[in-house]
Amino acid sequence: MASLSFATQSASALRETRRLLGHFHGYLGEFPPTVELAKGFLGQFADRKPITFARYVAVIKKFCEWYGEPLDIRVRVPKTLLDYVEPGDVDKLVEAINGRKTHKKKAATGMLSW
C-alpha cells in the first residue's frame, strides 16, 4: 500500500483534511471505501468553488489510493486573474515590454501604450 503522508500540510490544511475524511467516514457508514462511494460522496460538493472541489477530490483521491481503490477523477481548475492591478504595475509592465531586447536588436519603442 502507498504511504498516506500529510507531513507537508499546514496545521489548518491538516484540520481541513481530517474534517473532510471524517465526513467521508460518516458517509461510508459500515461500508468499505469503493470508487463508486467516493464518487457519490464527492458529487455532494460539485456546487462548490472549483478550487475547493479540486482540494476535496485530491484528499479523497489520495485516501482511496492509499486504501487500494484508485480513484480516476480529474478536476480542471480555471485560471483566475487578479481583481485589481495597480496602475503603476501596468506602467512597469508596458515599459518592460517596450524596452525588451529581441533577436532583432531592440523591440520597437512605443509598441504598447495606454
pLDDT in single tens digits along all 114 residues of the chain: 445 555 667 888 899 999 999 999 999 999 999 999 999 999 999 999 999 999 999 999 999 999 999 999 888 888 877 778 788 888 888 888 887 776 665 555 555 555
Nine-digit cell string for 41? 460522496
Buried b (16+ CB within 10 A) or exposed e, 34-69: eeebbeebbeebeeeeeeebbbbbebbbbbbeebee
DSSP letter for 31, please: S
**pLDDT value of position 1:** 44
The pTM of this model reads 0.62
For residue range 64-78, what is the model confidence (pLDDT) as tens digits?
A: 999 999 999 888 888
Sorted by where each begins, the domain ranges of the chain are 11-67, 81-114
